[in-house]
Structure 1
Amino acid sequence: MNTLSNKKVGTFILSIAVWGFAIVMIYPLLWLFSSSFKHTTDVYVLAHQLIPTHFYWENYVNGFKGFAGHSFLLFFRNSLYVTVLSVIGTVIASTMAAYAFARIRFPGSSFWFACMMLTLMLPGEVLIIPQYMLFNKLDWINTFWPLIVPSFAGGAFFIFLLVQFMRGIPIELDESARIDGCGRFHFFAKIMLPLIVPAIVTTAVFKFIWTWDDYFAPLLYLNSAEKATVSLAIKSMADPTMETDWGALFAMSVLSLVPVIAVFIGFQKYIVDGISTTGLKG
């Protein structure tokens, strides 16, 4: 009985600790959502109060008007355009590269895989100037191409994730397919792809979130307001030279989280499957 009571007490304490940690983690989101319904002055005066005294629904109306004569709908469309194409490019390139590393033995495969893995330890800051000079030579500055085209070269992290997932699939499938006269492309398209759906969805979701939330790359390559993405547009709404409409800014920040949360919740099952089985060999 004492052992059972100790377990219950331990479980209760652990539950309280988890709930407390969850509240600490989710409080900034609750504060952001609450502030999106407050007047700008109340954001400062009633910063500690989660429930607004008056709900200013016009914050969402004013925020959606955007800035520089452009509606926020344009910025959402820009972000969606860049994000979707980046996801498509990353999934296609990373999946094909991972299949080559995981299933095809070619000269120097181990060396090139090691080189690919080494790029994970390369700080992104050292690539900024060379990439900018390259895209400037191509006359791609103030276009979406610098944000999209690199994705069609894949990503080292995603290639590694997919390689580990593919290595968990029995090699006997390849041998059986070859005996039946199945070529590499047919095997890849008809057999391998359906088996690695969780890893592909995990790749797509992570790439979607990272691209949608990216602020630095659009700031570096996009100069005009009509090409701004959501993250860049939200930052541009905060004007240090005049009074900022914080209520409208927070309202647009809340709306910018909707696609990310929806994608994460909608594909949560695949993300768990894709991560939990990565690295396991059959």
Structure 2
Amino acid sequence: MTTWKTRIGSHLLLIVFSLLMLYPVFWWAGASLKTMQEMTLPTIWPKTPIWDNYIEGWRFSDKFTFGHFFLNTLLMEVANVFGGVITAALVAFGFARLSFKLRGMWFSILLMTLMLPTQVTIVPQYILFNNFGLTDSYVPLILPHFLGNGAFFIFLLVQFIRGIPRDLDEAAKIDGASVYGIFARIVFPLLKPALVTVGIFTFIWSWDDFFGQVLYLSSVEKFTVSLALRSFIDQFEIQWGYLLAMSLVSVLPSTVIFFLAQKHFVEGIATTGLKG
């Protein structure tokens, strides 16, 4: 039986490790309020906070504010999450519930793509999109999410669907439901925890996809948050105050979404793969 001393010791240990993990964030927040002269000082918080780093960083330029790049990124993320969740669920339902020739082989090939580094496919993808004249647009960054959203998410949802009793499908068939009806009325609503997990991962990974964004986007008016942050670094100078301030602001959407959906996220991870 756990004593109160053991519980206090465990909580103190967790607090210490939490503070160690959060130290970079504290330094980051403090550095975003420092002058260039204070950046090299071994202090976490500046003597006099400089809030102009946030004001001028958000102003960005005479033509665009940082809010413009936030809007670009958020609109792209809405499309990515919507397309990724729907198409990953459809493909996973097909592999988990439908019977068709060579299903096992195709599923194995799908899982094999997890072993391919992104760098192997990025060149042929770029050539393909360039030949169709789709570079300098959001299509190369959005379209893949409408085509299954990747093998990892499909596998995650397949495992979750396999945990849903098939008796529910049979009962729906007796009531006259089609395959599409079973998916829309039975399976899809029960996928909520796993779909939240897929949505969060899709949002975060797409938001942080600097490589894809810098590869396909070249017009400043189409820049995302990641590319706007890169603009604070030029050949001769790095605007550290603006960069740190806006980078801190840029992580807020992902942080807020994660905490709001944390319950469903944890539930989705914990129950994936369990048999019903």
> Do structure 1's residue 143 and structure 2's residue 141 form an aligned pair?
no
Q: Is the 1:68–1:225 contact (alpha carbons within 8 Å) kept by the matching residues of 2?
A: no
Percent of residue pairs bearing the same amino acid type: 44
Aligned equivalent of 1:121: 115
Map Cα deviations across residues 60-92 of structure 1 (whole Å, 9 max, x no partner): 110011247321111111111221111111111
CA distance in 2, matches of 1:13, 1:121: 42
CA distance in 2, matches of 1:238, 1:30: 23
Aligned equivalent of 1:197: 192
Map Cα deviations across residues 28-78 of structure 1 (whole Å, 9 max, x no partner): 11111111111222122x3x3222211111111100112473211111111
Instruction: Kindly state the Cα deviation for residue 147 of structure 1 after the two structures are TM-superposed.
Output: 0.6
> Do structure 1's residue 169 and structure 2's residue 161 form an aligned pair?
no
Map Cα deviations across residues 218-274 of structure 1 (whole Å, 9 max, x no partner): 1111112211110111122122313x3311111101110110000000000010110
Aligned equivalent of 2:262: 268
Aligned equivalent of 1:23: 19
CA distance in 2, matches of 1:208, 1:34: 27
Aligned equivalent of 1:247: 241
Q: Is the 1:75–1:228 contact (alpha carbons within 8 Å) kept by the matching residues of 2?
A: yes
Q: Is the 2:27–2:45 contact (alpha carbons within 8 Å) kept by the matching residues of 1?
A: no
* Aligned residue identity for 1:245: Q
Q: Is the 2:169–2:186 contact (alpha carbons within 8 Å) kept by the matching residues of 1?
A: no
CA distance in 2, matches of 1:114, 1:25: 38
Map Cα deviations across residues 161-208 of structure 1 (whole Å, 9 max, x no partner): 111111111111111111111111111111211111111111001100
CA distance in 2, matches of 1:152, 1:209: 17
Q: Is the 1:36–1:251 contact (alpha carbons within 8 Å) kept by the matching residues of 2?
A: yes
Mapping of residues 31-110 of structure 1, within 5 Å: 31-44=27-40, 46=41, 48-67=42-61, 69-110=63-104
CA distance in 1, matches of 2:119, 2:239: 33
Pairwise CA RMSD of aligned residues? 1.6
Instruction: Kindly state the Cα deviation for residue 139 of structure 1 after the two structures are TM-superposed.
Output: 0.8
Where 2:75 maps in the other structure, the secondary structure is helix
Q: Is the 1:86–1:148 contact (alpha carbons within 8 Å) kept by the matching residues of 2?
A: yes
CA distance in 2, matches of 1:146, 1:24: 39
Aligned length: 275
Where 2:38 maps in the other structure, the secondary structure is helix
TM-score, structure 1 as length reference? 0.93
| Unmatched runs of 5 consecutive residues or more in structure 1 | none
Q: Is the 2:93–2:161 contact (alpha carbons within 8 Å) kept by the matching residues of 1?
A: yes
TM-score, structure 2 as length reference? 0.95
| Unmatched runs of 5 consecutive residues or more in structure 2 | none
